[in-house]
Amino acid sequence: MGRRGDPPEGPPEGPPGGEDEYGSVVFDESFVNAARVQEFSAVERMGDHARAVRSLPAQSRRAPRRILLLVLLVALAFGTAVYLGVRQPYQPAVSRPGETLRMTLVPLAPHGTVAGGTPEEVLDHGPAAQYRTGAAGIALPAVRRTDHFTEDQVTTALATVKDYLVASSVDPDVLTGGQVRAVRALLNPDQLDQFDRSMSAPAADGRHAATGWLVRFDPAEVELAAGGVRVSGALLVTERDAGALEVTADHTFAYALRPAAAAGPVGERASLYTVRRELHFRLDRDDLRRHRLTVLTSYVQAGPQDCAEDTAAVLHPLLAGRRATSTGPADTDPYAPGPAGAALCGALADRSGPSPAAP
């Protein structure tokens, strides 16, 4: 008969405290190391007043602290890397907004009939007689360093501007409506879209006239006569700021022109056509290294030419023996839709043609 408190199936077999009583308990190394008391050995218990157990010192908590410190260091290193990734100096710099070329073209109408003669006569007996031919007429001034640019850098700026003037005002291929790659290659990339639109869809809106970038004639109307292009003018370089130079170019280009072969029989009579270009350029340090520039403003006077002609795509010279049909600008309609704009016109001084000695 079982005792009170025994389970219904009877008392458990075996003596109390047997192995089965703690069978599910595993005394692994971590359990032993975590014990706060330790039993003395049999030899130690033989002494008088010997205690059965002794207290152990508390386990060191340095390991958890070291782990926490390591976690903090990793987090700090990660945060620093993220911060430096945002602020690191190798990120591409935000590019400055591109400059838009502002351009103005003023046609100059003659008072009477355009004088003519042989190419040599119109060039050698007129106001361009003392001008030099082609690139030789674009002389570089004496070069001096500025506060932030060396003499070599100033020379590079002037040489780049000269190359642009030669490509856009003297190159026969450009003058006669041919390729403009030589001009385009000298422009800062920020202006290429504006330049390309000016070439493909020229407009008299002060921003997209092809003739604001270069001198161009319609090869179906006129052709260059012998004698080349006569040029005279000046270049002025100044320091805009510590990061850029500015160059102002003011040159007059004299062309001997005659009717194109496609327009009829070509005679010896040529006429003098004059283009004055005042251009303002900027060249930053990157431009100097890459031999390119930004054209800021273009102010052009050209004649003899009829003021009523559209000069956005090409210039329309009046040739020998012709007169202007209009001495004033074309009508401006303030009620017309589209970009607003008013035509400009000037009168060509009589001295701007060949001298009376020319037949």
Q: Does the pLDDT of residue 359 top 50, yes or no?
A: no
pLDDT tens for 230-266 read 999 999 999 989 999 999 999 999 999 999 975 555 5
Residue 243 pLDDT: 94
Find where tokens 């001034």 sit: 141
The C-alpha atoms of residue 185 and residue 167 are separated, in whole angstroms, by 10
pLDDT tens for 145-170 read 999 999 999 999 999 999 999 999 99
DSSP state of 259: E
Domain ranges across the chain? 26-86, 102-331+340-352
The C-alpha atoms of residue 239 and residue 244 are separated, in whole angstroms, by 6
Q: Which two tokens stand for residue 129?
A: 């007689």
pLDDT tens for 200-211 read 999 999 999 999
* Half-sphere exposure of residue 197: CA atoms within 13 angstroms, side-chain side: 12
Residues 6+ apart with CB under 8 A from 343: 204, 307, 329, 330, 332
One-letter identity of residue 358: A
Answer whether 175's CB lies under 8 Å from 215's CB: yes
Residue 74 pLDDT: 74
The C-alpha atoms of residue 344 and residue 332 are separated, in whole angstroms, by 10
> Average pLDDT in the 274-299 region?
97
> Average pLDDT in the 110-129 region?
92
Answer whether 141's CB lies under 8 Å from 162's CB: no
Consecutive H or E run containing 109: strand 102-109
Report the residue count for the chain: 359
Residues 6+ apart with CB under 8 A from 40: 50, 51, 52, 53, 54
Q: What is the CA radius of gyration of the chain?
A: 46
The C-alpha atoms of residue 302 and residue 319 are separated, in whole angstroms, by 13
Answer whether 194's CB lies under 8 Å from 100's CB: yes
Q: Is the dihedral of CA 159, 162, 167, 171 positive or negative?
A: negative
Q: Which two tokens stand for residue 215?
A: 């001198």
> Average pLDDT in the 7-26 region?
54
Look at residues 307, 322, 258 and name the one whose alpha carbon lies nearest to residue 109. 307
pLDDT tens for 322-332 read 998 866 666 65
3-class SS at 52? coil
